[in-house]
Amino acid sequence: MTPMPDQEHKPAAPREEVLTKERTKLARPPMYRVVILNDDYTPMEFVVWVLTVVFYKPQAEATRLMLDVHNKGRGVCGVFTHDVARTKALAVETLAKKHEHPLKAVLEACGAD
Ligand code: TYC
């Protein structure tokens, strides 16, 4: 019998390996404020109603926000992802148009003041 080559009796040299740590990074989506604007014609009760049905604000908070907008000119109804913010602003203006009020809602990117 042929003797085994000497090499084969030596312990195998450790293999080199590169271990890559995998990390899933989840970026936060860009967020948008829905801002309602004051005007001279939309009735206060209508604004309060819109804030309760579109933004699910409790009556007292909706009234406070409406008065703040009335006094300061604008107010933030909430902060949402782009799709949600756009849908809510559109809901505000669709309801306003349906009732023939000029109430406006605009989107404002968070982080860009
Ligand atoms: N200024 C309006 C009024 O006196 C009320 C109002 C409040 C209108 C807030 C719009 O976003 C608004 N009837």
- pLDDT one-digit tens code per residue, 37-92: 999 999 999 999 999 999 999 999 999 999 999 999 999 999 999 999 999 999 99
Q: Whose CA is closest to atom 7 on ligand 1?
A: 70
Q: Which atom of ligand 1 is nearest to the CA of 103?
A: 10
Q: Does the pLDDT of residue 1 top 50, yes or no?
A: no
Q: What pLDDT, on a 0 to 100 scale, did the predictor assign at position 79?
A: 98
Q: What is the distance in A from the centroid of ligand 1 to the CA of 22?
A: 53
Nearest CA to ligand 1 atom 12: 38
Contacts of 46 (CB under 8 A, 6+ apart): 96, 99, 101, 103
What is the pTM (predicted TM-score) of this model?
A: 0.80
Dist CA 93 CA 105 (whole Å): 7
Q: How far apart are CA 71 and CA 85, in angstroms?
A: 24
| Confidence check: pLDDT of 105 > 70 | yes
Q: How many residues does the chain have?
A: 113
Question: Which of 34, 35, 42, when mutated, tests ligand 1's pocket best, judged by the most ligand atoms within 8 Å of its CB?
Answer: 42
DSSP-based helix, strand, coil % in the chain, nearest 5? 40, 20, 40
Pocket of ligand 1 (CB under 6 A): 36-40, 42-44, 47, 66, 69-70, 103
